[in-house]
Chains A and B, each alone.
Chain A
Amino acid sequence: MIPRTAKAAVGRRILDAFVAAGAVEVAPDVLLPSATLLDLYGEDIRARAYLTTDPVRGEVVLRPDFTVPVVQMHMAGGADPARYCYLGEVFRKQDHGDTRPAHPRDNEYLQAGFELFSRDPQADAELFALFHGILAPYRLSATIGDMDLILDAVAGLPLSDARRAMLAHHIWRPARFARLLDRFSAPIAPRQFAVNDAPWTGLRDRAEMEARIDRLESHRDEPVLPAIWRERLQRLFAVAGPAPEALDELRVLADHMPAIAEATERLAARLRDLGALGVDPGTIHFDASHGRQTMEYYDGFTFSFTAPGRADWPPVSSGGRYDALTAVLGQGAAIPAVGGIIRPGLLAELDRC
């Protein structure tokens, strides 16, 4: 068992490095109002965060992550460029399903984080290089991804707006996404909407149902998505390997999927920037589907650092770009933002080995 003080000492070293990189230290509340988080994460947050009630404030939640409160704090004061860092505990329920593992994950642990609000196109590379430098002594495996590629690929499909929006909505739910894609790739069998004599009940009204039935019927007249598009998407999702080779693959794919050309060149620029900052792109693994397994608010560059030989560990560090989140929480204002966290407790365990 590693003492809490040892973990905190590792955390302070990381925080010092973040401050040296120009960040202002902030300390968000531990007890947060639940409404924003519930709206963002939905039912998942109840499974993962500790919710409780306060007689005055109503439903509150024990801080499950720092990004949302930091973004809220920043956007309340305007949408200017800024850089923040923090160190503190987050709290997560660990419900492992039917059988509890021998080594359950921690319910509370330290996060040291950095959030970069910036319109500089090199911000992704800057943040990644900062984390890469701090983590270098630990010999972790770095993986990056880019949700832009997938979002743009979906936006470029020859489908109606409604169908594209449905696919985009379910990008983070792979099975549902695949089923939708299958459905759009084949002729739709006529569907009977059996009439019954049940009286109308509930808040969803008849007009909402009729609008959906109309939509489903109009979808039948839509042309079938040619099979080649499903194959191209599947090829895109499967692109994985050392970053420079993955980039070559993406460029070949972009000849057939012009929609991803721009994001592919942004990735190329990011890899060049990393090289200029002293990070060899050949040592970084690229996985096009990386961002599909992470937070739903990441909508661009994503990254994680994992400890080799610790398959049961969560990532030691992770982060990504969340431009849309600043708009959602910005009440009209928005600024591009990228951020990430490191778990000092896991580094402390690696220190001991």
Chain B
Amino acid sequence: MLKLGVPSKGRLMEQTFDWFAARGVRLSRNGSDREYAGAVEGAEGVSLVMLSAGEIPRELAAGRIQLGVTGTDLVREKLAGWRSDVVELAPMGFGHADLVLAVPACWRDCEDLDDLASIARDFRLAHGFRLRIATKYHRLVRAFLSAHEVADYQLVDSQGATEGTVLNHTAEAIADITSSGETLRANHLKILSDGLIHASQATLLAGRAVADAHDLRAFADRLGIRGDLHAV
């Protein structure tokens, strides 16, 4: 039996249901909106588990579910060495969200990461502490800035309303998810020209240590996924 974990609420859940329905597999919740169990019609040997999108990467890595739907940003942030734990079977074409680095729009002298690196050094000399970047995506942002050799900064944790941290003087820049950029603009922030850290979308994933690979292939065939499953 394969366990499929899908987001338990909101647009992400609805679009996931639609995506599977378009491929002949009907997912549904049991009974009331509050019950986190579901049913699968149109595919043998698959059961449905409703989970928070943020928990799906770890559940896959732990082997408690064999298939899952979540954003690629969450997979990379939550699983160190994610390629050793999960395989991306199919991008699903919705849930698009970019993790971007943004600075105050009033910084006329800051267009790219080179500018940010230079400003961070000036800022540290002038203020006696490192330029603060607010985010909840610590691993992704740190790896990105390290790869681009930006120093003289520090990450400050922000689990919500991250765009407001600059206004509140608790950070000088932010790294957050955006789809339209509207919230950033409303908070007078602009995205650096080379500040795209990760382009995420909802993706169907499989645990690398899937117990029954034959089951998985049958299900992938049913969905018409032509992706390379050899890695699984």
Which residues of A approach B to under 8 Å, CB–CB? 38, 42-44, 46-47, 95-100, 166, 169-170, 173-176, 179, 193-196, 198-204, 206, 208-209, 211-213, 216
Residue tally, chain B, CB below 8 Å to A: 45
Given contacts A166-B118, A202-B106, A212-B109, 18 further A-B contacts (CB under 8 A): A38-B154, A42-B130, A43-B153, A46-B142, A47-B142, A95-B139, A96-B80, A99-B84, A100-B80, A100-B81, A173-B149, A201-B166, A201-B189, A202-B104, A202-B167, A203-B172, A209-B109, A212-B122
Q: Is B152 an interface residue (CB 8 A)?
A: yes
In the complex formed, the residue of B with least CB distance to A99 is B83
Q: Is the CB of B146 within 8 A of A46?
A: no
Q: Is B127 an interface residue (CB 8 A)?
A: yes
Q: Which residues of A contact B126 (CB under 8 A)?
A: 208
In the complex formed, the residue of A with least CB distance to B80 is A95
A194 CB, nearest partner CB in chain B, Å: 6
A190 CB, nearest partner CB in chain B, Å: 14
Q: Is B123 an interface residue (CB 8 A)?
A: yes
In the complex formed, the residue of A with least CB distance to B117 is A176
Q: Which residues of B contact A198 (CB under 8 A)?
A: 104-106, 188, 190
Q: Is the CB of B107 within 8 A of A204?
A: yes
Q: Is the CB of A43 within 8 A of B81?
A: no
Q: Which residues of B contact A98 (CB under 8 A)?
A: 76, 81-83
Q: Which residues of A contact B84 (CB under 8 A)?
A: 99-100
Supply 8 A–B pairs (Cβ within 8 Å), ascending by A: A43-B153, A44-B146, A98-B81, A100-B80, A100-B84, A176-B117, A196-B105, A202-B106
Q: Is the CB of B104 within 8 A of A43?
A: no
Q: Which residues in window 111-139 of B have CB below 8 A to A?
A: 114, 117-119, 121-123, 126-127, 130-131, 138-139
In Å, the complex CA distance between A73 and B57 comes to 44
CB within 8 Å for A201 and B104 given contacts A208-B123, A212-B122: yes
Q: Choose one: B82, B109, B118, B155; the contact of A46 (CB below 8 Å).
A: B155
A interface: dominant SS? loop
Q: Is the CB of A202 within 8 A of B81?
A: no
Q: Which residues of A contact B151 (CB under 8 A)?
A: 42, 170, 173
In Å, the complex CA distance between A199 and B189 comes to 10
B183 CB, nearest partner CB in chain A, Å: 14
**Please, what's the 1-or-0 string for B130-174, where 1 marks a CB less than 8 Å from any CB in chain A?**
110000001100110110111111110000000000110100100
Q: Is B108 an interface residue (CB 8 A)?
A: yes
Q: Which residues of B contact A179 (CB under 8 A)?
A: 114
Q: Is the CB of B146 within 8 A of A202?
A: no
Q: Which residues of A contact B146 (CB under 8 A)?
A: 43-44, 47
Q: Is the CB of A202 within 8 A of B169?
A: yes
Cβ-closest 3 pairs across A and B = A100-B81, A198-B105, A173-B149
CB within 8 Å for A42 and B119 given contacts A198-B106, A202-B104: no
In Å, the complex CA distance between A174 and B145 comes to 14
In Å, the complex CA distance between A206 and B108 comes to 10
In the complex formed, the residue of A with least CB distance to B141 is A43
A84 CB, nearest partner CB in chain B, Å: 30
Q: Is the CB of B108 within 8 A of A208?
A: no
In Å, the complex CA distance between A170 and B151 comes to 9
In Å, the complex CA distance between A283 and B194 comes to 46
In Å, the complex CA distance between A206 and B107 comes to 8
Q: Which residues of A contact B138 (CB under 8 A)?
A: 46
Q: Is the CB of A176 within 8 A of B152?
A: no
Q: Which residues of B contact A95 (CB under 8 A)?
A: 80-81, 139
In the complex formed, the residue of B with least CB distance to A38 is B154
